[in-house]
Structure 1
Amino acid sequence: MQAFLRWVTCAALVSAPTLPHAGEEPSAMHQALESAFVDWLGSNGTTGLIGASVRDTNGSWQTHRHITRADTGATVADLASVSKSITAVCMMDLVDDGLADWSNPLHNFVEPAPDVTLGELVTHTSGIGPDVTQIAMLGWLGQTAGDSGHFSRQVLDLVNARGELGGTRGQYNYNNENYAILGLAIETITGQPFFEACAERLELPASIQPGPESGVFQPWGGLASDVDGYLQFMQTHFGEGSRIASDPFALPHVALGGGAYYGMGMVFRPFRDSYNFWHFGALCFPNRLRTGSFAVIWEGKVGVLAMYDECIDEGAMGDLDATLSAAVFGDRP
């Protein structure tokens, strides 16, 4: 009954010598990505949708999308844990505006609360654990959560009831609870519900909304979008010249090993004179909801959001990453 996400630290490791210039036959690159994704869907017996954005030589983004859902044709799907990037960027915006600092203890915003900092929460180094959401989310799926719109307060109550952190502070341990609690801190700082505050501050595209069933997980994995909406968010905040892509090491981050790091709700890796950012998400509830997502942006110039209607294993995740990388760089890593 495990309910959520896995990601692959080896993802987006590419070795091709040159990224094609975005202005050179972008439609061909879009078609290559689409074809690669369709082949991957077929190999995994599922359907889905993909959007790809390519930054041209004038700095404009050209986006193409493709849907294989012949039964519904739905253009919106759950972002699952890819939602965490929105929570992280929202908190970053508050820090940049001087309304908080990454070193601030959580006690400054939420009581009672564990003795951790905002920076530790955003990098999963708080030491909070184990992740009770992995069990609780099945019971919460599809419920309503009143004015707050999400169950982050319930998550914090469960964390406080344990008393001890349960993990090692300063050590990376992926845990949905960290981002649920970040959502509460955002609400305290802004005086607004989490999604309302972040949608307003970040000027999120209207197509990004709480998921119809998963919305009670908003700060840690309950947002939904069409591919265009999230790609626009990713272009703005992880694209070439963005605050994050300019120097992710200037923001809270933690080493994962193998040259990869976690920061601002994304895994990232330095690549030549730039960075690759990516994240996988999954909502896996037997007989209720089975969906996955993969967001990646290579060197700030080519971004993809792939969403699929099945829960897949880590091998299939690695295959998806390698297949799409090959479509961009012209060779498998």
Structure 2
Amino acid sequence: MPPVRTLLAAAVVLVLVALPRAAASPHTAPADDAFLAPLVTRGGAPAAALLVREDDGTRYAEAGQDIDRADHFRGGSVTKTFVATVVLQLAAEHRLSLTDPVETYLPGLVRGAGNDGRALTLRHLLTHTSGLYDFTADTGGTVPVTPLQAVRIALTHPPADRGRFSYSNTNYVLLGLVVERITGHSYAAEAERRLITPLGLNGTSFPGSRTSLPAPHGHAYAADGADVTVLDPRVAGAAGELVTTLADLDRFYAALLGGELLSPRWLREMLDTRAAHGSYGMGLFPRRLDCGVTVWGHTGRIAGSYVRTAATVDGRRVLTFRVNTDAVASPGLEPALLAAEFCPRTR
């Protein structure tokens, strides 16, 4: 059990640190900060932090110990937004079509137990409507595997109904292989060249098999309190390998939704949720808050880290929060925090 857990009983030691905001901000009271401490007390995390990016600057808050604004952490499935953006850029360059069968790029690979890459398109993979089994259901997200091993694990199981939304990490492992087949470079190298370097995301990387986090970083804890800061990222691969920072995720999603990375046509394609019946676009999903506002973004969960990025559809306001454990124990806390930031407030 990490020592920081012993601090949870004394709520008075929880620290909220908020940077000042310009007076012109439409949110004069940072109500979302008040929802951060409960992520530690009721959400079961040793520590939590958030960073909001908007037109008039940024605002940071933290709760608990051993967490900092500049920390590197594992981003989990926010990796999927990066991979989907690369695929859509390749589509814009006419190097692939979303209607192409998976078989076109990975001949003979997706076969077995009723799975057939000839009947699956890249759109199926991007929107999680392929029906392919999620390999991490067998590995528990803790066993390092190569992409081919991940796919072979998935193919020992029959598919779910094709065309029905069913979230599966296998889809994005396959997309990583497709990117490599088309470009001759790994998905990581393409994401670095196309996204990370142009946007100056200096804290973001694809670590490959590197088990340590870059400095600075805090500790990461499993739900049972075990320290899992050292982790082989190959447990997730193209579905969740990324290491990043709060500021980099805010910058990336602001740039993506603001039209810096995709043309209007391809950004509309990314936000189109019809294939997944409203549940998912391509590397992004919408969340309609109780006040009627819809935000876009992604969650990321990997051993020792949970992160959530949400943004307005134009990317002008972005919030990223994270906890240094696997999940938020109280499910109502996340939507409450998002509503505090994105829903209009009466004065």
Same fold (TM over 0.5): yes
Q: Structure 1 residue 307: deviation in Å?
A: 0.8
Q: Structure 1 residue 290: deviation in Å?
A: 2.9
- Give the whole-Å Cα distance in 2 for the aligned partners of 1:307 and 1:28: 23
Q: Structure 1 residue 139: deviation in Å?
A: 4.6
Contact 1:23 1:55 in 2 (8 A): no
Q: Structure 1 residue 214: deviation in Å?
A: 4.7
Specify which structure has the higher proportion of strand.
1
1:312 aligns with 2:316: no
Q: Counterpart of 1:52 in 2: which secondary structure? A: strand
Match of 1:281 among 294, 300, 313: 300
Q: Structure 1 residue 248: deviation in Å?
A: 5.4
User: 1:34 aligns to what?
Assistant: 33
Q: CA RMSD in A?
A: 3.2
Of 192-201 and 272-281, more deviation after overlay is shown by 272-281
User: 2:54 aligns to what?
Assistant: 54
Q: Structure 1 residue 280: deviation in Å?
A: 2.2
Q: Counterpart of 1:49 in 2: which secondary structure? A: strand
Q: Structure 1 residue 292: deviation in Å?
A: 0.9
Q: Structure 1 residue 247: deviation in Å?
A: 7.8
Amino acid at match of 1:280: T
User: 2:149 aligns to what?
Assistant: 154
Amino acid at match of 1:234: Y
**Deviations, residues 57-86 of structure 1 (Å, cap 9, x unaligned):** xxxxx2233344533647111111122111
Of 120-129 and 263-272, more deviation after overlay is shown by 263-272
User: 1:104 aligns to what?
Assistant: 100
**Deviations, residues 103-141 of structure 1 (Å, cap 9, x unaligned):** 011111113222311111000111212x22222254524
Aligned-residue identity in percent:
20
User: 2:282 aligns to what?
Assistant: 264
User: 1:168 aligns to what?
Assistant: 161
Amino acid at match of 1:24: A
Residues 328 and 250 of structure 1, relative CA distance in 2, 3 Å threshold:
closer
User: 2:217 aligns to what?
Assistant: none
- Give the whole-Å Cα distance in 2 for the aligned partners of 1:243 and 1:299: 14
Q: Structure 1 residue 241: deviation in Å?
A: 7.9
Amino acid at match of 2:128: H
Q: Structure 1 residue 224: deviation in Å?
A: 1.6
TM-score (ref. length: structure 1): 0.74
Contact 1:109 1:185 in 2 (8 A): yes
Q: Counterpart of 1:111 in 2: which secondary structure? A: coil
TM-score (ref. length: structure 2): 0.71
User: 2:89 aligns to what?
Assistant: 93
Amino acid at match of 1:96: A
Residues 221 and 304 of structure 1, relative CA distance in 2, 3 Å threshold:
same
User: 2:343 aligns to what?
Assistant: 329
Residues 298 and 38 of structure 1, relative CA distance in 2, 3 Å threshold:
farther
Residues 27 and 70 of structure 1, relative CA distance in 2, 3 Å threshold:
farther
Match of 2:273 among 247, 253, 257: 253
Contact 1:49 1:67 in 2 (8 A): yes
Amino acid at match of 2:281: G
Contact 1:87 1:182 in 2 (8 A): yes
Q: Counterpart of 1:307 in 2: which secondary structure? A: strand
Contact 1:277 1:298 in 2 (8 A): yes
- Give the whole-Å Cα distance in 2 for the aligned partners of 1:39 and 1:270: 22
Match of 2:65 among 52, 67, 70: 70
Residues 55 and 151 of structure 1, relative CA distance in 2, 3 Å threshold:
farther
Contact 1:51 1:64 in 2 (8 A): yes
Answer 1 or 2: higher relative contact order, Cα 8 Å, separation at least 6: 1
Q: Structure 1 residue 27: deviation in Å?
A: 8.0
Contact 2:102 2:122 in 1 (8 A): yes
Contact 2:53 2:250 in 1 (8 A): yes
Amino acid at match of 1:264: M
Contact 1:67 1:75 in 2 (8 A): no
Specify which structure has the higher proportion of helix.
1
1:295 aligns with 2:309: yes
- Give the whole-Å Cα distance in 1 for the aligned partners of 2:38 and 2:332: 14
**Deviations, residues 211-266 of structure 1 (Å, cap 9, x unaligned):** 54252123111212111111111011123787488885534534666xx4311211
Q: Structure 1 residue 172: deviation in Å?
A: 0.9
Amino acid at match of 1:43: R
- Give the whole-Å Cα distance in 1 for the aligned partners of 2:288 and 2:67: 39
Residues 245 and 299 of structure 1, relative CA distance in 2, 3 Å threshold:
farther
- Give the whole-Å Cα distance in 1 for the aligned partners of 2:37 and 2:25: 20
User: 2:242 aligns to what?
Assistant: 223
Residues 268 and 241 of structure 1, relative CA distance in 2, 3 Å threshold:
farther
Instruction: Structure 1: give runs of 5+ residues left out of the alignment.
Output: 1-21, 57-61, 142-149, 284-288
User: 1:185 aligns to what?
Assistant: 178
